[in-house]
C-alpha cells in the first residue's frame, strides 16, 4: 500500500474545516481501484461512498439488453454515491473504474450522519452535486448531437483534468462501452486524432501529444462542464494539505451566507430550502436528459444483409426467402448522419431450427443498433430459412463447351482429370444433382490438340468439395482436320 497518499488529495476532503475533517478522517479507508472494477451496480444498495484521489470512475447507465453509456466521470474533484445524501439508498447507475489508482472510502452511515448535521459538509456536497448534474446534462447533449470523434475528445479532456499526467491506460473496447458506441467507431476516431498528431495510441495506452489541438477539436460541451465546475468549486483548495481553519470557515460561511447573530432556526430553514432546490435541479436535469434524447428525430432507411448465427452443424442452409432486410431507423440528425457500415446488424439465430422450412420473425431482438438510434420499421417481418441435412455424393465432371469449333476441325476425344469429384451438400439438393460442370471452355480457341486447366462451378453455391479436393480440373482434347468430303 502506498505511503504518499493523503485524503486531502481529494478536493472535497481537502476543503473540509478541521472539525469536520477530524471527525471523518479516522474512518477513511485507503483502497486500490483497479481498472474495470465495479464499485456500484445499478440498483445495488450503497454501503460506502468513495473519494477518488488518483483514480477516475465512470458512471454508466445500463439498459435492459446490457448496453451502457457513460453519463458522468468522477475523479479527485468529487465523490461517488450522491444518491445516499440525496435521499436514496440505491443508485440507478453503475460505477466502473476507467483509470486505475487509489481512493478513500467511507461507511455510508457516517457520511449521512455528517450530512444531517446541516453544517459545511451539506453545502459543499450540494454544490458538487449541482456541478455533477451539469456534467450529466451536457453529456446527454453531446451523445445526442456530436460525432464520435468530438465525444472522444471531450472524454479524453475530462479524464486528463482529473489526472496528474498526459497519458492514461484504456482499451478501445472500454472507451466504446463508456461512450455507448461501437468499437469500430472509437478505432476510426482515435485513428483520426493520431494522424492529426493530437494523441498517440498503442497497446491500450493513450498519450495526449497536443492538448491545445485537442481542445480545438472538441465540441463546446467540455468548456460548459469545466466552467460550471470552476464556478461552483473554484475556492476549494487543490493542494495536498489542508487550508487554514479560519480560511475554510470564511469560505463556507460566505457560501452559506452565515454570520454571527443569525438564529439557528433560520439557518436550518435555509439549508432545507437549498436541499429542496438541489432535488428540483436533479429532476429538471433528468427531464432535459430525456428531452434531448427524444427530440429532433431524423428517419433513415437502410438495406442490411442478414447474418445467420448458431447454425446447427448437422444442417446446411438450402435457401432463404431474402438475403437482406429493409430497416427504417430514427434518431438525432447527428447520430443518423454518422452511422457507419457495420453499426447496424440483423442477426437470425438458427440454434433452434429444424430440417426443412423454418420461419423466423425479424424484430428488435434480431437487430443490433448503436445507442441513441431506434427501430421504426423492418421489412420483411418474417424470413423463411430452409435447412437440409448434409450428405456426400460423387458426381461426374463434364466440360461446359461454348462457341463453335472451326469448320475444318473435328473434336475426336476429350478427357477430364479428375473424371469425378466428391461434394458435400444438402440431401434434397444432391438428390437431383447428376453432373458438375466446369467453367466455360471456348471451342473457337482450339486449333490443335492440347489441354487446358479450368475450374469447377459448384451450383448451387451451398455445395462444397470434400477436404483435400481442388476446384481445378484438366481438360485434355484431341482435334483432327476434317476430310474434304466431310466439309461439303
- Taking the C-alpha atoms of residue 133 and residue 156, their distance in angstroms, rounded to an integer, is 19
Residue-wise pLDDT tens digits, 199-218: 888 777 888 888 899 888 88
Q: Which helix (H) or strand (E) holds 135?
A: helix 120-145
Work out whether strand 390-398 and strand 436-438 pair parallel, antiparallel, or are unpaired: parallel
Q: 130 with 24, same domain?
A: yes
Boundary-marking domain end, from 347, 373, 388: 388
* 2 located within any domain: no
Write down the residue that cell numbers 491500450 correspond to. Answer: 204
Is 360 in contact with 319 (CB distance < 8 Å)? no
- Taking the C-alpha atoms of residue 393 and residue 311, their distance in angstroms, rounded to an integer, is 22
Grid cell listed for 426: 444438402
* 1 located within any domain: no
pLDDT higher than 70, residue 225: yes
Question: For the chain, what is the domain count?
Answer: 4
Boundary-marking domain end, from 358, 388, 418: 388
Residue-wise pLDDT tens digits, 153-207: 888 888 888 877 787 777 777 777 777 777 778 888 888 888 889 988 877 788 8
> CA-CA distances (angstroms) from residue 441 to 233, 269, 401, 425, 477?
81, 96, 5, 26, 12
Q: 197 with 338, same domain?
A: no
Predicted pLDDT at 280: 62
pLDDT higher than 90, residue 275: no
CATH number at residue 159: 1.10.10.10
Residue-wise pLDDT tens digits, 329-368: 887 776 777 777 678 889 999 988 888 889 999 988 888 8
Q: 22 with 102, same domain?
A: yes
* 225 located within any domain: no
Q: 372 with 271, same domain?
A: no
- Taking the C-alpha atoms of residue 100 and residue 37, their distance in angstroms, rounded to an integer, is 9
449 band by pLDDT with thresholds 50, 70 and 90: very high
The predicted model gives 407-433 an average pLDDT of: 88
Q: 36 with 48, same domain?
A: yes
Of 448, 453, 350, residue with least CA distance to 406: 448
The percentage of residues in the chain with a pLDDT greater than 70, rounded to a whole number, is 83
Q: 311 with 353, same domain?
A: yes
- Taking the C-alpha atoms of residue 289 and residue 144, their distance in angstroms, rounded to an integer, is 10
At residue 443's C-alpha, the angle toward residues 442 and 444, to 5°, is 95
* 223 located within any domain: no
Q: 262 with 177, same domain?
A: no
Of 155, 180, 163, residue with least CA distance to 66: 180
Of 150, 35, 28, residue with least CA distance to 101: 35
pLDDT higher than 50, residue 45: yes
Q: What is the domain extent for residue 241? A: 7-146+230-292
CATH number at residue 314: 2.170.120.30
247 band by pLDDT with thresholds 50, 70 and 90: very low
* 224 located within any domain: no
Predicted pLDDT at 399: 93
DSSP 218-230: S-THHHHHHHHHH
At residue 363's C-alpha, the angle toward residues 390 and 366, to 5°, is 50
Q: 67 with 132, same domain?
A: yes
Q: Report residue 150: phi and psi, to 5°.
A: -65, -40
CATH number at residue 53: 2.60.120.10
Q: What end-to-end distance do the CA atoms of the chain give, in Å?
A: 105
Is 160 in contact with 167 (CB distance < 8 Å)? no
pTM of the model: 0.50
Contacts 24+ apart (CB under 8 A), 454-458: 456/397, 456/421, 457/400, 458/423
* 406 located within any domain: yes
* 178 located within any domain: yes
Q: Which is more confidently placed, 67 or 326?
A: 326
Please count the CA atoms within 13 angstroms of the CA of 235 that sit on its side-chain side.
13
Predicted pLDDT at 485: 56
243 band by pLDDT with thresholds 50, 70 and 90: very low
pLDDT higher than 60, residue 415: yes
Residue 73, beta-bridge partner list: 58
Q: Report residue 46: phi and psi, to 5°.
A: -80, 120
Q: 409 with 275, same domain?
A: no
Q: Which is more confidently placed, 482 or 283?
A: 482
The percentage of residues in the chain with a pLDDT greater than 90, rounded to a whole number, is 22
CATH number at residue 457: 2.170.120.40
Q: 118 with 235, same domain?
A: yes
Predicted pLDDT at 296: 47
For residue 2, the 8-state DSSP code is -
Q: 114 with 237, same domain?
A: yes
Of 132, 23, 113, 28, residue with least CA distance to 73: 132
431 band by pLDDT with thresholds 50, 70 and 90: confident
Is 102 in contact with 54 (CB distance < 8 Å)? yes
Predicted pLDDT at 300: 85
Boundary-marking domain end, from 165, 191, 218: 218
The predicted model gives 124-133 an average pLDDT of: 88
* 252 located within any domain: yes
Q: 180 with 130, same domain?
A: no
Can you say how many angstroms the Cα of residue 207 is from the centroid of all Cα atoms in its chain?
21
297 band by pLDDT with thresholds 50, 70 and 90: low
Amino acid at each position: 500500500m502506498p505511503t504518499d497518499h493523503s485524503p486531502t488529495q481529494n478536493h472535497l476532503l481537502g476543503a473540509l474545516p478541521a472539525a469536520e475533517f477530524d471527525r471523518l478522517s479516522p474512518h477513511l479507508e485507503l483502497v486500490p481501484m483497479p481498472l474495470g472494477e465495479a464499485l456500484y451496480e445499478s440498483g445495488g444498495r450503497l454501503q460506502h461512498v468513495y473519494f477518488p484521489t488518483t483514480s477516475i470512475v465512470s458512471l454508466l447507465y445500463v439498459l435492459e439488453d446490457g448496453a451502457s453509456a457513460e453519463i458522468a466521470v468522477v475523479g479527485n474533484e468529487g465523490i461517488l454515491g450522491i444518491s445516499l445524501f440525496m435521499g436514496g439508498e440505491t443508485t440507478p447507475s453503475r460505477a466502473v473504474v476507467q483509470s486505475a489508482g487509489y481512493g478513500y472510502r467511507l461507511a455510508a452511515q457516517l457520511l449521512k450522519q455528517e450530512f444531517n448535521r446541516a453544517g459545511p459538509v451539506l453545502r459543499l456536497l450540494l454544490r458538487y452535486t449541482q456541478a455533477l448534474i451539469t456534467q450529466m446534462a451536457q453529456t446527454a447533449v453531446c451523445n445526442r448531437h456530436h460525432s464520435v470523434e468530438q465525444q472522444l475528445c471531450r472524454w479524453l479532456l475530462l479524464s486528463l483534468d482529473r489526472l496528474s499526467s498526459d497519458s492514461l491506460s484504456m482499451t478501445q473496447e472500454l472507451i466504446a462501452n463508456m461512450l455507448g458506441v461501437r468499437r469500430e467507431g472509437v478505432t476510426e476516431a482515435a485513428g483520426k486524432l493520431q494522424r492529426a498528431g493530437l494523441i498517440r495510441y498503442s497497446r491500450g495506452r493513450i498519450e495526449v501529444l497536443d492538448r491545445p489541438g485537442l481542445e480545438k477539436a472538441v465540441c463546446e460541451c467540455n468548456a460548459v462542464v469545466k466552467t460550471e465546475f470552476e464556478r461552483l468549486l473554484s475556492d476549494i483548495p487543490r493542494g495536498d494539505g489542508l487550508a487554514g481553519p479560519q480560511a475554510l470557515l470564511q469560505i463556507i460561511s460566505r457560501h452559506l451566507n452565515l454570520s454571527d447573530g443569525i438564529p439557528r432556526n433560520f439557518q436550518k430553514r435555509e439549508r432545507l430550502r437549498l436541499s429542496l432546490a438541489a432535488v428540483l435541479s436533479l429532476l429538471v436535469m433528468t427531464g432535459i436528459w430525456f428531452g434531448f434524447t427524444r427530440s429532433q428525430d431524423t428517419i433513415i432507411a437502410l438495406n442490411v444483409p442478414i447474418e445467420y448465427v448458431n447454425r446447427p452443424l448437422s444442417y446446411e442452409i438450402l435457401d432463404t426467402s431474402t438475403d437482406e432486410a429493409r430497416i427504417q431507423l430514427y434518431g438525432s440528425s447527428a447520430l443518423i448522419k454518422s452511422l457507419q457500415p457495420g453499426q447496424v446488424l440483423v442477426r437470425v439465430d438458427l440454434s433452434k431450427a429444424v430440417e426443412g422450412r423454418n420461419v423466423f420473425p425479424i424484430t428488435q431482438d434480431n437487430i443490433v443498433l448503436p445507442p441513441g438510434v431506434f427501430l421504426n420499421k423492418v421489412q420483411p417481418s418474417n424470413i423463411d430459412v430452409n435447412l437440409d441435412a448434409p450428405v456426400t455424393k460423387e458426381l461426374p465432371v463434364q466440360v461446359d463447351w461454348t462457341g463453335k469449333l472451326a469448320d475444318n476441325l473435328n473434336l475426336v476425344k476429350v478427357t477430364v482429370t479428375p473424371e469425378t469429384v466428391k461434394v458435400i451438400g444438402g440431401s434434397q439438393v444432391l438428390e437431383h444433382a447428376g453432373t458438375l460442370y466446369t467453367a466455360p471452355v471456348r471451342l473457337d480457341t482450339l486449333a490443335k490438340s492440347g489441354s487446358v486447366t479450368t475450374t469447377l462451378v459448384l451450383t448451387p453455391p451451398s455445395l462444397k468439395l470434400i477436404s483435400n479436393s481442388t476446384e481445378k480440373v484438366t481438360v485434355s482434347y484431341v482435334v483432327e482436320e476434317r476430310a474434304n468430303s466431310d466439309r461439303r
